[in-house]
Amino acid sequence: MELDGKTSPAIFEDESPIEETGTKGSRRARVSGIDRALQVIDHLYETGSPAGVYAIAKAVKAPLSTIYVIVDDLVEKNMLTRQSDGSIWLGSRLYHYGLAYARSLDFMSVATHEMHDLCRQAGETVQVCGRDGDFMLVLAMADGPSHFQVASRVGTRVPLNWTASGRLLVGHLQEDERLELFKRCARSSPTGRAEIDPVTLSESAGRAFESRLSIQAGESDYAVACIASPICDREGKCVATISIVLPEQKAFSDESHYTAQVRSSAERIEKLMGWRGH
């Protein structure tokens, strides 16, 4: 059964029965075509790389035939795209939806404008980051004029303990909450330099938030440093960060200059949003 704008959402039956609460026997779980489509898109987003239809069906625990139908329909509508090797990836239509959503958000408009201003002032790459569960997510980015390459582009998700921004994003939480979070999500980084001890991470996150500044170097990427400041709402919660990403050696040669710039940018965003004064 095809999904299109002329039909109501299709209903597909899973092949594996589930127990029905309070009754004897079992029944097949009925899942709408829209739910299945979202499962496919969510899986690709969460894994961050293209995948074959079989792998997707296995990951979302759905019949292969069902996923083939949904994928074909989403590819036709540019919600997904089929790579040259047959694997499936997110399509251009989702990108346009994301841009429209971002334009509707006052915060992203204000933060992105400030991000570009800071990029021009500092002459370095600047990022605005948020929290996505146990991960830090790059929301927006302005490339600096130098040839210095930053691996974490828009949409990149990395464990909270790898980055300066990640610690700030949870710095406002109570100590016991931070401790439990880092016990659950702290992971070793590719460089092996990221702190993984929950107690140390919780304490450093709290201190960084209080001082409105977090600096990390070489923890997630070799020879890369990040200087970040929290953007806090009127309740004092860190909703995002703004950070300067630059070569490690350069960061520490003029640290006070960059720290003053990034703190000022975070404060300006808060003032423009009406959050400053909490």
> Are residues 136 and 248 located together in one domain of the fold?
yes
Structure tokens at 25: 């026997």
Residue 1 lies in a domain: no
Confidence check: pLDDT of 127 > 70: yes
Average confidence (pLDDT) over 45-64: 94
| Rg value, the chain, Cα | 22
- Res 198: pLDDT: 95
Which of 13-17, 89-93, 104-108, 244-248 tops mean pLDDT? 89-93
Residue 193 lies in a domain: yes
SS3 content of the chain, % helix, strand, coil (to 5): 45, 25, 30
> Are residues 238 and 156 located together in one domain of the fold?
yes
Average confidence (pLDDT) over 138-165: 86
Q: Is 256 helix (H, G, I), strand (E, B) or coil?
A: helix
> Are residues 87 and 109 located together in one domain of the fold?
no
- Res 6: pLDDT: 38
> Are residues 24 and 121 located together in one domain of the fold?
no
Total tally of structural domains belonging to the chain: 2
Task: Determine contact, residues 244/226, Cβ cutoff 8 Å.
Answer: yes
Tell me which residue range forms the domain holding 139. 105-272
Report the distance separating Cα 207 and Cα 32, nearest Å: 47
> Are residues 71 and 134 located together in one domain of the fold?
no
How much of the chain, in percent, has pLDDT values that exceed 90?
63
235 versus 5: which is more confidently predicted?
Answer: 235
Tell me: the pLDDT tens digits for 5-54? Answer: 333 344 444 544 333 334 444 444 567 889 999 999 999 998 989 999 99
pTM of the model: 0.65
Residue 278 lies in a domain: no
- Res 270: pLDDT: 95
Task: Determine contact, residues 260/239, Cβ cutoff 8 Å.
Answer: no
Q: Which of 143, 37, 150 is nearest to 90 (CA)?
A: 37
Average confidence (pLDDT) over 116-130: 95
- Res 260: pLDDT: 94
φ, ψ (nearest 5 deg) of residue 85: -90, 5
233 versus 9: which is more confidently predicted?
Answer: 233
> Are residues 39 and 147 located together in one domain of the fold?
no
Q: Is 162 helix (H, G, I), strand (E, B) or coil?
A: helix
Task: Determine contact, residues 80/74, Cβ cutoff 8 Å.
Answer: yes
111 versus 29: which is more confidently predicted?
Answer: 111
Task: Determine contact, residues 164/226, Cβ cutoff 8 Å.
Answer: yes
Residue 65 lies in a domain: yes
> Are residues 210 and 131 located together in one domain of the fold?
yes
> Are residues 68 and 125 located together in one domain of the fold?
no
